[in-house]
A and B are shown apart, each in its own frame.
Chain A
């Protein structure tokens, strides 16, 4: 944990989220630190994914969703009128629960972000970015000979790493991962976890997970959500060995959830 810093990348204070009349998130305050993996854990329906999606305004696409409270990235309000969600999402990348490669070639999948954001000037640079992203997502060796095969032709674990490579290629500052390994077998999961640890050196990573072992393995900070409340937030080692709240203790010892 030598490279861990205490710089706050995203700060959230008193965040409430409503879906119509449904109060999904209740007064949550969490600080996402720079170069840190933060894990959100909790039982299904506790609001952890909803909260994750607030961080890059993915909830904007849902009409009935209303968000109040302060969400600041590098001190600037994420929900300010002047902020274009499209630009925000370029800085806050997202990897989803189910691998969702576009119906394009492997190369075009990774090149998608750089192309739409005009990050590269010419073809050579683009090829370089694609290769670098695929290498960082630990999938380059498997796909380097078939970059023009469709992304959907890969196995589930490879597809998920492709999606991570796609997110990295856009050069984000924060990477949000919504249960990135839940659809994968243990070997692919181990590769993804290794990758997350690797990514921490350049990004802030926020990961939602159902697996407490996974949270313990990959994260430095953990937030426990329960029924829309954030019950406890702290160092992962503290949460898992010496939780303050009874509910946290019950959940991590498997008494409910």
Chain B
């Protein structure tokens, strides 16, 4: 119903566009140059006003009135059941709403039925009033806007101002969303630290991670929230991944940019970039089903004991996933090294290898470093591969053949586990915030390198 109303408002606004344009043309008395603004600007101005007023009213009523009704009915139910807990009152209301909508409810009793009847009545009033008010608002805005139309009316400046406002609002949405996410991370992190008595050191330096074991009333044991094994695991898997990705990616980039013929390059580069398009969930089961058993069998043949969810398997597959990032970015920066530098080196009788090692790579180094740092921050934040292929137990070990867990795995386990969200959110958000700080720092570092690099050759 409300979606249909939104469509109606848009249709109404388009109608106003056509009417306003016609009115502007007639106001020009036959000579269009008499108008300050082209007729379509007059049309756009009135159309935007009608649309903005209508949609804003619709949104405000749809959200506000709904919230008001909920609050009112919850208060009503609480008056009948003064001793009930919040969750029970909510259940009564949602059952009543289900009955009103003709759906199945968990239980039928006189209170629920009575609530359903009055809710249905109030909701119908709400919907029809919302439709009428927002359509009426759009209509009034359009009529008022049309009354202004005259040859001197500065519709172009006004409509451009509105459009600038729309663009600004779109940018603001992106920025505010980011800000909101960061603020909620910070807020939950503070709550969590408050719940362990501000013993931040226990979180940062403790070595035992088992935050939810034995937790019933939301009170954490501060000795079980040590995140060191998680960060150690993340660090180890990231390290293994970079050991795989940096040399292979860099060598591939050097081959593609300086040795491959244009024909080979034309198909090899896209092929390599296909690796970046494979969903991480595919890498995850590739790691868990193919690589991990292979490493385990190989290890056993050599007489080593290998866990079936070893850090090595997850790290290697993650490294393979990161190869295209490093190779593609490095290839770009190596290609950006001016041909004149290579010519200068060849002109002095340097070989290709000498030229690459001593001239091209040093010149491309800042770009390569930033590519590697971007790869690292991707590896740290990667989730799916480690969920499937790394372990879940928080082991503190330096042996890559054992199972370790990572920060991202623990966040997944906390949020998807069956502990109440309000309890599990604390440690999860705190881990997420720490992770966010680390990757943010790495990204800033990478950006600074890139900027330094750009200054050199532009």
User: A95–B348 Cα gap in the complex (Å)?
Assistant: 9
Known A102-B359, A102-B363; contact A112-B340, beta-carbon cutoff 8 A? no
- Bound-state Cα–Cα, A100 to B262, Å: 25
A103 contacts partner chain B, Cβ-Cβ < 8 Å: yes
Nearest-neighbour CB distance to chain B for A175, whole angstroms, equals 10
Residues of A within 8 A of B350 (CB): 86, 112-113, 116
Asked if B456 and A100 sit within 8 Å, CB to CB, the answer is no
What 0/1 pattern do residues 327 to 368 of B give for CB contact below 8 A with A?
A: 000000000001011011111111100100011001100000
Q: How far is the CA of A89 from the CA of B348 in the complex (A)?
A: 6
Interface segment out of the listed A24-32, A55-63, A206-214, A215-223: A55-63
Q: CB of B261 within 8 A of chain A?
A: yes
Question: Beyond A63-B261, A116-B354, A116-B358, is A100–B341 a contact (Cβ under 8 Å)?
Answer: yes
Q: How many A-B residue pairs have CB under 8 A?
A: 75
A residues 57-93 touching B (CB-CB < 8 Å): 58, 61, 63, 86-91, 93
B-chain residues with CB within 8 Å of residue A56 when the two chains form the complex: 347
| A112-B358, A152-B456 given; A58·B349 CB < 8 A | no
Residue pair B343, A167 in contact (C-beta under 8 Å): no
Is A139 on the interface with B (CB-CB < 8 A)? no
State whether A93 touches B348 (Cβ < 8 A). yes
A98 CA to B343 CA in the complex, in Å?
11
Given A63-B261, A116-B358, A96-B344 contact (CB < 8 Å) = yes
B330 to chain A, nearest CB (A): 16
B347 near A93 (CB under 8 angstroms)? yes
Residues on the B chain within 8 Å of A152, using CB: 456
Select which of B340, B344, B349, B456 is within 8 A of A87 by beta carbon: B349
Asked whether A170 is an interface residue with its Cβ less than 8 Å from the other chain, the reply is yes
A113 to B261, CA, bound (A): 28
Contact partners of A90 in chain B: CB under 8 A: 348-349
* A94: nearest chain-B partner, CB-CB: B347
Q: How many residues of A contact B (CB 8 A)?
A: 30
Residues of B within 8 A of A88 (CB): 349
CB-CB under 8 A from A166, the residues of chain B are 344, 348
Q: How far is the CB of B428 from chain A (nearest CB, A)?
A: 46
**B351 near A58: Cβ-Cβ < 8 Å:** no
Which chain B residue has the least Cβ–Cβ distance from A169? B348
Contacts of B349 in A (CB 8 A): 86-91, 93, 113, 116-117, 170
Residues of A within 8 A of B351 (CB): 86, 116
Residues of B within 8 A of A87 (CB): 349
Cβ A170 vs Cβ B456 within 8 A: no
Of A95, A100, A101, A113, which is in contact with the most chain B CB atoms at under 10 Å from its CB? A100
**Contact assessment for A167 and B354 in the assembled complex, using a CB-CB cutoff below 8 Å:** no
Nearest A residue (CB) for B344: A100
What is the CB-to-nearest-CB distance from A129 to chain B, in angstroms, rounded to a whole number? Answer: 13
- The answer for the CA separation of A110 and B387 in the assembled complex, in Å, is 54
Q: How many angstroms between the C-alpha atoms of A167 and B343 in the bound complex?
A: 12
Contact check, A96 vs B348: say whether CB atoms are below 8 A apart: no
**A166–B350 Cα gap in the complex (Å)?**
12
Looking at the assembled complex, report how far the CB atom of A107 sits from the nearest CB atom of chain B, in whole angstroms. 14
The reply to whether B343 and A58 contact each other, CB–CB distance below 8 Å, is yes
Min distance, Cβ B83 to any Cβ of chain A, angstroms: 77
Pick the residue among A58, A104, A117 that contacts B362 (CB under 8 A).
A104
Q: Are A58 and B347 in contact (CB under 8 A)?
A: yes
CB distance from B412 to the nearest CB of A (A): 44
B456 and A102: CB pair below 8 A? no
Name the distance in Å between B131's Cβ and chain A's nearest Cβ. Answer: 68
Q: Which residues of B contact A176 (CB under 8 A)?
A: 347
A61 nearest CB neighbor, chain B only = B346
Within the complex, the shortest CB–CB distance from A112 to chain B, in Å, comes to 6
Q: Is A10 an interface residue (CB 8 A)?
A: no
**Cβ contact within 8 Å between A116 and B348:** yes
| B456 in complex: contacting residue of A93, A103, A163, CB < 8 Å | A103
Which of B225-283 touch A at CB < 8 Å?
Answer: 261-262
User: Are A102 and B341 in contact, with the CB atoms below 8 A?
Assistant: yes
> Taking each of B345, B362, B363, B456, which has the highest tally of chain A beta carbons within 10 Å of its own beta carbon?
B345
Proximity bits, A144-158, B CB within 8 Å = 1, else 0: 000000001000000
Q: Are B346 and A100 in touch, CB under 8 angstroms?
A: no
A residues in contact with B344, CB < 8 Å: 94, 96, 100-102, 163, 166
Query: Known contacts A103-B362, A103-B363, A152-B456; is A113 also within 8 Å of B348 by CB?
Result: yes
Complex CA gap A90/B264 in Å reads 31
Q: Which chain B positions have C-beta within 8 A of A163?
A: 344
Given known A116-B354, A152-B456, contact A100–B343 (CB-CB < 8 A): yes
Q: Is the CB of B348 within 8 A of A170?
A: yes
Contact check, B456 vs A167: say whether CB atoms are below 8 A apart.
no
When the two chains form their complex, are residues B348 and A98 in contact, meaning their CB atoms are under 8 A apart?
Answer: no
A34-59 interface with B by 8 A CB criterion: 56, 58
Are B358 and A89 closer than 8 Å at their CB atoms? no
User: Roughly how many angstroms separate A253 CA and B6 CA in the complex, as a whole number?
Assistant: 77
B358 partner residues in chain A, CB cutoff 8 A: 102, 112, 116
Chain A residues contacting B347 (CB-CB under 8 Å) are 56, 58, 89, 93-96, 167, 176
Q: Which residues of B contact A116 (CB under 8 A)?
A: 348-351, 354, 358
What's the nearest-Cβ distance from chain B to residue A52, in Å?
11
30 A–B contacts, CB within 8 A, in A order: A56-B347, A58-B347, A61-B346, A63-B262, A86-B349, A89-B346, A89-B348, A90-B349, A91-B349, A94-B348, A95-B347, A98-B340, A100-B340, A100-B343, A100-B344, A101-B344, A102-B363, A103-B362, A104-B362, A112-B350, A112-B358, A116-B348, A116-B350, A116-B351, A116-B354, A116-B358, A166-B344, A167-B347, A170-B348, A170-B349
- Having A112-B348, A167-B347, one finds 7 other A-B pairs with CB under 8 Å, namely A86-B349, A89-B348, A103-B341, A113-B349, A166-B344, A166-B348, A176-B347
Closest 6 CB pairs of A and B: A90-B349, A94-B347, A89-B349, A100-B340, A100-B344, A113-B348
